[in-house]
Amino acid sequence: MISLEMARKLKDAGLEWDPKKYDYFQLTILEKPLTTCLTDDYSVKSYQKESQEIRQKHRLWLPRLDQLLAGIEKLGYEWAMAFCRAEGYVAQLWIVGKKKKLASFTSKAAPDDAVAEALLWILEGRRS
Quick one: pLDDT at residue 9?
A: 97
pTM of the full structure: 0.81
Closest CA to 16 of 70, 95, 92: 70
pLDDT classification of 19: cutoffs 50, 70, 90:
confident
Closest CA to 71 of 98, 104, 90, 93: 93
User: What is the sign of the dihedral through the CA atoms of 122, 111, 5 and 68?
Assistant: positive
* pLDDT tens figures, 61-103: 999 999 999 999 999 999 999 998 888 999 999 888 887 888 9
b/e 25-54 (16+ beta carbons within 10 angstroms → b): bbeeeeeeeeeeeebeeebeeebeeeeeee
First and final C-alpha spacing in the chain: 28
In contact, 20 and 44? CB cutoff 8 Å:
yes
CATH of region 66-127 = 3.30.160
> What's the rounded Cα separation, in Å, for the pair 18 and 22?
12
In contact, 65 and 46? CB cutoff 8 Å:
no
Which of 28-32, 43-47, 88-92 comes out lowest in average pLDDT? Answer: 43-47
- Domain residue extents for the chain: 18-62, 66-127
